[in-house]
Structure 1
């Protein structure tokens, strides 16, 4: 098992399945240019080798979240900055459907700001 698989394996169900689905839609949104790495023990997604977003768990909110780089350029009421300068987070509510369209829209907006 590779380190990224190990990260997800340590998460209990049903969160694991939800996060694996989220991982899948991110990677499949641009399979030629979006890659996945493990940095700081977390799954990071990169666009043409530049930081795009990552998954983590918030102890403060007690929820998993997707953190977007260049979040300072994103404007959506569901995003939280919590004092971060370059990132905004989208909390993942495991009891609701994933906001797939919103996530894909935010990924596209971040890609515009990445200089490659």
Structure 2
């Protein structure tokens, strides 16, 4: 079993199901996406270039998807906080995941690499 699989297995409820579902959604968006453990958290790479990750917001106690190149996005549901480059997408583990918004953001993030805005 890979280290990243251990991350999901060892995650606490109610976050475990949300994080696992998010990973499945992200991975099915493109065959070039891989999931690796970096800095103790699951990162998703497109052609070996990190583009998003999953984590738990310490203050808000909510799972989120971090978008590495979030500065290129202006969707109202993404939060900048004190980050200069990244933005996050918070999720309520008690609610259904907003699949359409998640897929939109993942496709936009991948397109940054495909179009050369961000170098692969």
Structure 2 length-normalised TM: 0.89
Question: Which consecutive residues of structure 1, in runs of 5 or more, have no partner in the other structure?
Answer: none
Residue in 2 that maps onto 1:15: 15
Q: What's the offset of the Cα at 1:15?
A: 2.0
* CA distance in structure 2 between the aligned counterparts of 1:57 and 1:18, rounded to whole angstroms: 11
Task: Look up the match of 1:30.
Answer: 30
CA RMSD of aligned residues (A): 1.2
Deviations 1:1-50 (A, max 9, x none): 3211111122123321221111111101112x101111001100001111
Higher strand share: 1
1:42-69 deviations in whole A, cap 9, x for unaligned? 1000011111100011111111110001
Shift of 1:110: 1.3
Are residues 1:98 and 2:92 paired? no
Give the corresponding residue for 1:82: 81
C-alpha distance in 1 between matches for 2:51 and 2:57: 19
- Structure 1 length normalisation: TM-score? 0.92
Q: Which runs of 5+ in 2 are unaligned?
A: 114-118
